[in-house]
Amino acid sequence: MDQSSGQPPHGSSKPSSVLPRKTPNVKAHYRIGKKLGQGQFGTTYLCVDAATGREYACKSIPKRKLLCREDYEDVWREIQIMHHLSEHPNVVRIKGTYEDPVFVHLVMELCAGGELFDRIIQRGHYSERKAAQLIKTIAGVVEACHSLGVMHRDLKPENFLFASTDEDAALKATDFGLSVFYKPGDTFSDVVGSPYYVAPEVLRKYYGPEADVWSAGVILYILLSGVPPFWAETEAGIFKEILQGHIDFESEPWPCISDSAKDLIRNMLNKNPKKRFTAHQVLCHPWIVDDKVAPDRPLDSAVLSRLKQFSAMNKLKKMALKAIPSPNSYSKLVIAESLSEEEIGGLKELFNMIDTDNSGTITFDELKDGLRRVGSELMESEIQALMNAADIDNSGTIDYGEFLAATLHVNKLERDENLVSAFSFFDKDGSGYITVDELSQACREFGLDDVHLDDMIKEIDQNNVCAGLVMINFLDMIQISFPLHSCSLHVFDL
C-alpha cells in the first residue's frame, strides 16, 4: 500500500525516530498539565501554549512501546491522516508534533465538551431529529475520510467529542490510531476495532471502507434505543450475533420509532457490504435530509435511561475490569489483585524470582533474565511485547498487580467470588455498599475525572438503597447487563 511522502525510509531495521526531522522539545513551547486520559499506546495531557496561553491536548506515546518499524510507521501514519483531514470542521485538528528520546507528542485541539453520550444525557431532551443531526455529522466525517482515501476503522461514541460545553458546539472525530490510507479496491485482513461496533466482514478478515458505515449504523441504533444491536455475555457471543446479523425492531422503543429511521439502520447494517449504504447515501436519506421526517417529539424516557446505564456501566467497568488487551486473553487488574494465595499459586514466587533487586517492580532486563532462567527462548522483541502489554500505567516497569493480571487466565477472573472481591475494592469501609464518596475515591485513583457519579449511582442502584450499590447489582452490571470484555481489541481469532 502506498504511503504519503515524508515517511521515514523503509528498511528492515527499527528506525531511530518517528518524525522525519528533528523537533524542539515540546516543553519549550507548552506547559504540560493534568492527565486527561490514558489509552493502550499513550497518555493524553492538558497542555498550555506558553506564548498564547491557549489550551490544547497533548497525546504522548512512549517510544519503548514501538517495537518494530511497522509500529513507528503506524504512529507516523496517524499523524499524516490527522494532517490530511485537518481542514474538516468535525475532525480534531492537530497543531504540531514533537519527538524526544523517550516520547512522541501530538499536540491537538482540546475538546472540552465531553463525549457524545455524556452530552445527550446532560441535555435531557432528546428526539429522533436530534439523533439525525448527530448521525449527519458522523456520516459526514466518514464521507470526508473515504473521499480522501482514509478508513477510520474504530468508529465508536467514545471517539466523538464536543469542542466545548456551548449548546451549539461542534461534534468532532478523534483517535485515528487504527486508521489507514486505502485506494479503491483495496481490502484488509487485520481484525481491529471495538466489539460492539465491528462489522461482520472485519471478523471474516476481508473488508474495505464499508466497515465504517456499519460502525456508524451501530451508533445510530444505540442513539435511538439506548442499547447495542448485537450483544451477549462474552465477546465470542457478540461476534456470533454480529455474523448472524438479526436486528431487533420489535422490542421497546422500536414500535414508536419512525419507519424511516429503521429503514436507514437496515441499510447501514446490511450484512452484505456491497449492498450496504455508502456514507453519501446515508447523507441523502430522507430521515437525514428532511427535518419533517425525523420527529422532534421526545423519545421514551427509557431510552435516555438505558443510554445513561450503557455509558455509566462502561466507565465503571474501566475501573473494575482494568483491561489489558493481549493476543490470547483479557486479564483484569483490580480483580487479579483480589485473588487468594491459593488461586495465585506459584505466581508470587515467580514474581519474586524475577524481581532480583526486591524493588517490588520488574524491569525489562529482569523480565528478560527471569524468562531465560526458566528456559524461555523468546526473542528480545517478543519479551518487549510482553512487557508493554503488562505495563498498564506506562511506568516502564511491571508491578505485582500488573504481573498477576498479565498471567492469570481470564476464566479464573470471571468467577463470582472474584467479582465480589472486586466489589470490596470499591467498598472501602466494608459496609456492603458502594457510596458516592467511595466511587469518587476510585475514580480519582484511576484518573477518571469525567465520570458523572450521580448518574452512575441512579442508574446502577436500581433499589435506591442508601445511595449505595448492593452486591447483586454490581455482579449484574459486570456479568450480565453488558459483555465482560468491552475494551478495544486489536487481534483475535474466531
Contacts of 144 (CB under 8 A, 6+ apart): 85, 88, 90, 91
Neighbour tally for 65: CB within 10 Å: 18
Of 154, 355, 427, 461, catalytic: 154
**274 among annotated binding-site residues:** no
Neighbour tally for 94: CB within 10 Å: 22
Cα–Cα distance, 118 to 16 (Å, whole number):
41
Q: Which three cell numbers stand for residue 118?
A: 455524556
Supply φ then ψ for residue 474, to 5 degrees.
-65, -45
331: nearest Cα among 272, 398, 378:
398
Cα–Cα distance, 349 to 161 (Å, whole number):
45
- Any idea which residue has 505495563 for its cell? 391
- The HSE-up count of residue 398 (CA atoms within 13 Å, CB side) is 29
Report whether the peptide linkage leading into residue 253 is cis, meaning its omega lies within 30 degrees of zero: yes
Is 365 in the active site?
no
Cα–Cα distance, 4 to 179 (Å, whole number):
14
Contacts of 13 (CB under 8 A, 6+ apart): 69
Cα–Cα distance, 97 to 80 (Å, whole number):
11
Q: At 399, is the secondary structure helix, strand, or coil? A: strand
140: nearest Cα among 71, 216, 59, 220:
216
Spell out a b/e string for 331-368, using b for 16 or more CB atoms within 10 Å of the CB, else e.
Answer: bbbbbbbbbeeebbeebeeebeebbeeeeebbbbebbb
Residues of the binding site for ATP: 59
Residues of the binding site: 59
**Which amino acids are annotated catalytic?**
154
